[in-house]
Each structure stands twice: as C-alpha cells, then as structure tokens.
Amino acid sequence: MTTTRPLSLVTGASAGIGAAFARELATQGHDLVLTARRADRLESLAQELRERHGAVVTVLPADLADPSAVSRLCDELDARGLRVDWLINNAGYGVPGTFEAVEWPVHEAFIRVLMTAPAELAWRLLPGMRERGHGRIVNVASLAGHVPGSAGHTLYAASKAYLIKFSQSLALENRHLGVHVCALCPGFTWSEFHDVTGTRQLMNKLPGFMWQSAEAVVREGCRAVERGDVVHVTGSVNRVIKALTKLLPDRLTLWLSARESKRYRALEATQ
C-alpha cells in the first residue's frame, strides 16, 4: 500500500525553533519546504534532513518583509505541485529600543514578518487543507503575548498577542473540517534570537530553570497541535507565570513587568 508523506512548510527555518521544527517533522516522516532569508543555512539543513531521514526537502529562500514574498512563495508551491499539510509560522525576531527611537520602516518590516505574513500564509494555504479535510497550523507566539507589555521591543508582545487571538478564531472556524490551529507560546528558549537582538549579556543573568531548549519547545508544540490544543504555553514554569499574571491585579503585573524588563530589554536601539 502506498502512503503519501505529509508536507510541512516551515518559515524562519534557518535556526532556532524553526530548524528544530524541521528536524522533528522530518523525524516524524514529513517532507519539507524550508524558507528563510539565509539560503546557505537552509541548504545545509536540507542536506542534513535528506541524509538522515530520507526526506524530500525543498528550499525556497524568501524575505517575508517583502510585501510580495508570500504570494510568490505560494505561486512557487503551486508551480511545483506541492500541497502543504502543516504550516509552521515561526519566522520572527526582535527590534531593540523604544518605539520612537526606531525608524518606521524597521517597524513596518517587523509587522509584515510577524503579523501580516503568518495571516497571509494561512489564508492562502487553508483552502487546500479544508478541501482535503486535514491540516495543521502552528503559529509560534510567545509567553510575552500573555503577560503585560514592557518598555523596549515595543511591538514584540503586541505581535504575539495578535497571533494568539488570530489562532483562537482560526481554530474555531476550521476545527470541524479537520484543520487544527495552535498558538505555541514558549518562554525563554535557547537559540540565537538574543544574540541577534544584542541582549545575550542581559539574558545570561536569568536563572537556568527559566530556559527551555528549542527541541523541547517543538516536541510540546507537535503534541499540542495534534491534540487540538488551541493555545499551548510550553514548560511548567511558563504556565505558572501565565496563571499568576491572570490572578494578580493589572497594576501589580504592570509594576512587575516594568521592574523585570530592565533586566532583559534593550531600551536603546542597536540598528
């Protein structure tokens, strides 16, 4: 009997949680489409997955800050006859500095990558999933989307809260058709994210128990979306933080956020 291997599209697949998703899904027998800006890293990962898991891996480099990137990416999928079963909306980064200290085009690119691109990819790929009666969409949000915003990295928590609410509505609209949507909400994760934002030195002050590996986050995420969880916060420490945030008065949580953010938020832009 012949079986068709699932096909997963992973954005931001060149490092961190994105690369971990690619490796985990390849282990589970998926073929993959990998996209990110850094083609050399994608090719290296693709070769690894082909050799280790026999996966068919397609590399389609793209900069999701480009307004036409998603439509061109999906046109290429159609041209190659690739039907996406799993969409992992993972691409993201942080913009250090206070809101007014950063040029608007930088904020605009951030909004496109973290908010517009995930929504457009879902919009373009959902019809096929609905028609086939099966699909999985994981929007990589963050614990930051559940707790009060902080000074610095102004749009980051806002973008993650957006992904959570977007995922909830999308899940309700599609679960009866076999399409599961999950907002995956990790806390502090070992990756190069903080090196890129220039906050690694600040991050190193946090205790070890606050951190998870990208692999642990991804394993939880895959199980959560298969179960039909609509929002999943990874790690017991992060789930406690989320629960406490809901229980404490807003004034207190904002005060705590202001105090703690000084330890790990860069208030001066490093662009």
Q: How high is the pLDDT of residue 4?
A: 85
Q: Give the pLDDT band (50/70/90) at residue 140.
A: very high
Q: Exposure of 249 by Cβ count < 10 A (0-12 exposed, 13-18 middle, 19+ buried)?
A: exposed
pLDDT digits (tens, 9 = 90+) for 65-92: 999 999 999 999 999 999 999 999 999 9
Q: How high is the pLDDT of residue 254?
A: 75
Domains identified in the chain and CATH numbers = 7-264 (3.40.50.720)
Q: How high is the pLDDT of residue 171?
A: 98
Q: Give the pLDDT band (50/70/90) at residue 13.
A: very high
Q: Is the pLDDT reported for residue 260 higher than 80?
A: no
- Residue 98's contacts (CB-CB under 8 Å, 6 or more residues apart) are 151, 152, 154, 267, 269
Residues that are catalytic:
156
Distance CA 73, CA 102 (A): 29
Q: How high is the pLDDT of residue 246?
A: 84
Percentage of the chain surpassing pLDDT 90? Answer: 74
pLDDT digits (tens, 9 = 90+) for 160-216: 999 999 999 999 999 999 999 999 999 987 655 544 544 445 545 555 656 699 999
Q: How high is the pLDDT of residue 269?
A: 44
The chain-wide mean pLDDT, for the chain, equals 89
Cα atoms in the 13 Å half-sphere on the side-chain side of 255:
5
